[in-house]
Structure 1
Amino acid sequence: MAGRTVRNSGRITPRAIRATAVAACAALALTACGSTKDSAGSGNDAGDGKGNGKVGVILPLLTSPFWQSYNDYVPKMAESEKVDALKTVNSNSDPSQQITDINNQLNQGVQGLVVAPLDSAAISAGLDQAERKGVPVVAVDVAPEKGKVAMVVRANNVAYGEQACEFLGDQVKTGKVVQIMGDLASVNGRDRSEAFRTCVKEKYPDLKVLEIPAKWESDTAASKLDTLLNSNPDIKGIYMQAGGVYLAPTLQTLKSKGMLKKAGEKGHISIVSNDGIPQEFDAIRKGEIDATVSQPADAYAKYGMYYIKAAMQGKTFKPGPTDHDSVIVKLPNGLLEDQLPAPLVTKDNVDDPKLWGNTVK
C-alpha cells in the first residue's frame, strides 16, 4: 500500500468482515506458460472469451499523490491494452466500503475486476463474491491473504525494506534511526517493517531502530514523530514507508523543530522513502531527503489491465521470468505475483526520464 488515511465510518469493521467471510477456494491452477508470453488456458465463463467485457477498477484512496497518479494512468493503460474499463471507484480508505464497492460492481455486471486491497485479510469477502459470480480478479499493490485472484501485480515489498535499510546503513554508521511504518493489517506494511528491522539487526548492529506505527495516516505520523523527537533529538535517519502520505508531515515536523538540514549540512538527518512520486524527487533535488524506492504506479496500471484481460480470455500463468523485466513468483498461499521492478532513486539518478515520477506533472 502506498499510503492511506483512515476514517471512522460506522460501517462494518474489517474484523467483522473477516469473521463472516466464506472460506476461500483453491488458488488459481498453474497450468499455462511461464511468462507474459502466454497461451490460452482451459477457459473462463466470465467475459466474452476475447477479453472484451467491462472491467471495474477499485482504488483504495485518492488522498495520496501515488494513488492519484495510478488513477490517472488507469484509463490510459486500459486504452493501450484494449480493456473496456469503467470509471474508477474510490473506497476512501475504508475496507468495509471496499467490499461494498466490489459487490456494487458485480451487480452492475462487470466481467472483470482490478482491485487494490486495503486490508489483506478482509478483502477475501469480496474475492469470494467475485468467484461465486465467475468474475476474475486481479489484485494490485497488496496481496490478499486468501481468496482467488488471477494475478497479484505488485513490487517486492521485502526488497523495499531491505533497500531502505542498506541505504541508511551506509549513510548512518551508528546511532538511532526511525522507521515510520504503514498499516500492519496490510501485507505491505508488514513486509516493509520486518525487512527493515531484520536487515538492520543482521547488517548494521550499531544502529538502533525506533518505530512509529502510523497506519498510512499523515496526521498520526506527524504527531508521533513530534513526540519521538522530543525524547530522541539525536536521531540520524528516517525510513518513511510511504512518501505519498508521510513526506509532507515528516518534513514539516523536522522544519518546525529546526531539524530540517540539507544533505551535506551539519546535522542533516538521512531520509529514505517509498513511492517515487514527483514530490519526493523534488525533495531529493533540494537535499531534504536522500532517496526513495520508486513504486511503479504506471506499471501497476498497465499490468493490472494486461492480466485482467488475459484472465477474461481464460489464460493462466506459472512462475518464471516475464518479458517486462520482472518475475512471477508463487506466494506461500498459492497465489501468483508478478513482482515488478522498483529501483532506488538518489541524487545520482533522480532526473532519469524513464522514472514514472518524472513523466507526470
Structure 2
Amino acid sequence: MKLKSLKTILASVAVSATMAGAAMAEDLRIAYTGYSTDNTFWIGVAKAAAAKADEMGVELIDLTASSPDAAAQKDAVDRAINMGVDGIIIGSVDNRAFGASLDMAKRKGIPVVAVDTGIDHDHIASLVQTDNLAAAGIAGKYIVDQIDGGTVLILGGSAGHQTGNARRDGVKNAAEAAGHEVIFQICDWKDACAYETTINFLQSNPDITAIFSAWDPGALAAVSAASELGKLDDLVIVGFDGNPANLVSIEAGELAATIKQDNARMGAEAVQNLVGLIKGDEVPEFTPIDGILITSENVADYK
C-alpha cells in the first residue's frame, strides 16, 4: 500500500471517529429535576445545567416542578425513566423518596447523578455538592467570633435531609465548642416557619444572640421578624446560599453574612459527570465544592 493511501485512510478513520463521537453527544437525552423552579438557588443550578448541556451538544429535559413536592419529583424521575432518557440528574426535595425509582433506573442501565443533596442508594454514581459541613463550620466560626455569649438559634431544613443536617451540624458543632447553647428547630425550608419560629423564640428566649438559617430566604424571614420586634441590631443573623437578595441585605447592614454556594459550577459539573458516565468514562463519586463566607467586607465582590 502506498504511503499516501495509508495517510488518506487514517485521516478518514479519524474524521469518522470524531463525527461518531459528536453524533453520540448530540443524540444523548438527559433529564434534570431540581428542588423547584421558584427558588433562586435552584434557578441558577438549572440554568448552568442547561448551558453545559447545550455546550456539549446534549438535549436536557427539565422536569422540575414549580414548587417543592417530593411526590411530584419522584413521578418526574419515573417519567424520565419511562421516556428512555440516557441519564438523570436529581436535586432532591426528599432524598429518601427514590428507592423504587432508582431500582428501576439501575435495571434499565440509566445512570443517575445527585446534585446538592446526597441520596442513599447504590445506583447514585456521582454526587456534586457543596461541602456543607465544612461550609457551615465556617459560618459557625464567624458567628462565635461575632457574639459574646448567649444562645444560637438554628432554623433547619426537613427532618433527615442530608444537606440540612450537615449545615445544622457545622454551626452547632462550632457554637457548642465555644460554649454556647444551641436551639435547633426544623422548618422544612419554609420561610413562613422561619419567620414564626424567630418571632416565638426571640420573645421567649432573651438570651438569643445569633440566628443561623440553613437556607437564605429563611435568613431574610428571620431578619424581618427581628426587625419587627426591634431586636435586629442585637442579633447576628447568617444565611446559606449567597442569593442576590441576601447580598442586598448584607449591604444594608441587616443580615450579617451568608455562605455562597457555587450553584453554576454545581449544575455544570453534574451534567459533565453524567455525560461521562453515559460514555463509560470514570468520573468522581464525589465532587465537593467550597463554600464562601460573604460579609459586609467582601459583599461588593459578589454582586
Q: TM-score range by the shorter chain?
A: 0.7 to 0.9
Give how far 1:295 is off: 1.1
Identity of aligned residues (%): 24
Q: Secondary structure at the match of 1:292?
A: strand
Contact 1:124–1:144, Cα closer than 8 Å, also in 2 = no
The yes-or-no answer on 1:347 pairing with 2:280 is no
Equivalence for 1:112: 87
* Separation in structure 2 between the aligned mates of residue 315 and residue 229 of structure 1, nearest angstrom: 53
Give how far 1:347 is off: 1.6
Equivalence for 1:17: none
Which of these residues, 201, 205, 222, is aligned with residue 232 of structure 1?
Answer: 205
Contact 1:136–1:149, Cα closer than 8 Å, also in 2 = yes
The yes-or-no answer on 1:249 pairing with 2:200 is no
The yes-or-no answer on 1:219 pairing with 2:168 is no
* Separation in structure 2 between the aligned mates of residue 278 and residue 217 of structure 1, nearest angstrom: 18
Contact 1:275–1:294, Cα closer than 8 Å, also in 2 = yes
Give how far 1:59 is off: 1.4
The yes-or-no answer on 1:271 pairing with 2:237 is yes
* Separation in structure 2 between the aligned mates of residue 73 and residue 124 of structure 1, nearest angstrom: 27
Contact 1:161–1:196, Cα closer than 8 Å, also in 2 = yes
Structure 2 counterparts to residues 1-361 of structure 1, below 5 A = 50=25, 52-90=27-65, 92-202=67-177, 204-205=178-179, 207-243=180-216, 245-261=217-233, 267=234, 269-318=235-284, 336-352=285-301, 355=302, 358=303
Per-residue CA deviations over 1:236-293 (Å, capped at 9, x if unaligned) read: 11111100x30332122112111223xxxxx3x1111100111111111111111111
* Separation in structure 2 between the aligned mates of residue 148 and residue 172 of structure 1, nearest angstrom: 44
Any unmatched runs of 5+ in structure 2?
1-22
Contact 2:65–2:72, Cα closer than 8 Å, also in 1 = no
* 1:300 alignment partner AA: M
- How much is the aligned-residue C-alpha RMSD, in angstroms? 1.8
* Separation in structure 2 between the aligned mates of residue 351 and residue 80 of structure 1, nearest angstrom: 30
* 1:350 alignment partner AA: V
Contact 1:111–1:135, Cα closer than 8 Å, also in 2 = yes
After superposition, the Cα gap between the structure-2 partners of 1:96 and 1:88, relative to the gap in structure 1 and judged at 3 Å, is closer
Give how far 1:50 is off: 4.7
More off after superposition, 215-224 vs 165-174: 215-224
Instruction: Please identify the structure whose Cα radius of gyration is greater.
Output: 2
More helix by share: 2
After superposition, the Cα gap between the structure-2 partners of 1:95 and 1:123, relative to the gap in structure 1 and judged at 3 Å, is same
Q: Secondary structure at the match of 1:151?
A: strand
Q: Secondary structure at the match of 1:138?
A: strand
After superposition, the Cα gap between the structure-2 partners of 1:93 and 1:188, relative to the gap in structure 1 and judged at 3 Å, is same
Equivalence for 1:33: none
More off after superposition, 91-100 vs 226-235: 91-100
Q: Secondary structure at the match of 1:89?
A: coil
Per-residue CA deviations over 1:204-238 (Å, capped at 9, x if unaligned) read: 11x22122211111111111221111112342111
Give how far 1:51 is off: 7.4
Give how far 1:150 is off: 2.2
More off after superposition, 121-130 vs 283-292: 121-130
Contact 1:60–1:92, Cα closer than 8 Å, also in 2 = yes
After superposition, the Cα gap between the structure-2 partners of 1:51 and 1:307, relative to the gap in structure 1 and judged at 3 Å, is farther
Length, aligned pairs only: 281
Any unmatched runs of 5+ in structure 1?
1-47, 262-266, 319-335
Q: Secondary structure at the match of 1:150?
A: strand
In the superposition, the TM-score normalised over structure 2's length comes to 0.87
* 1:341 alignment partner AA: D
Contact 2:25–2:56, Cα closer than 8 Å, also in 1 = no
Q: Secondary structure at the match of 2:299?
A: coil
* 1:251 alignment partner AA: V
* Separation in structure 2 between the aligned mates of residue 79 and residue 253 of structure 1, nearest angstrom: 43
* 2:210 alignment partner AA: G
Contact 1:51–1:309, Cα closer than 8 Å, also in 2 = no
In the superposition, the TM-score normalised over structure 1's length comes to 0.73
Contact 1:62–1:90, Cα closer than 8 Å, also in 2 = yes
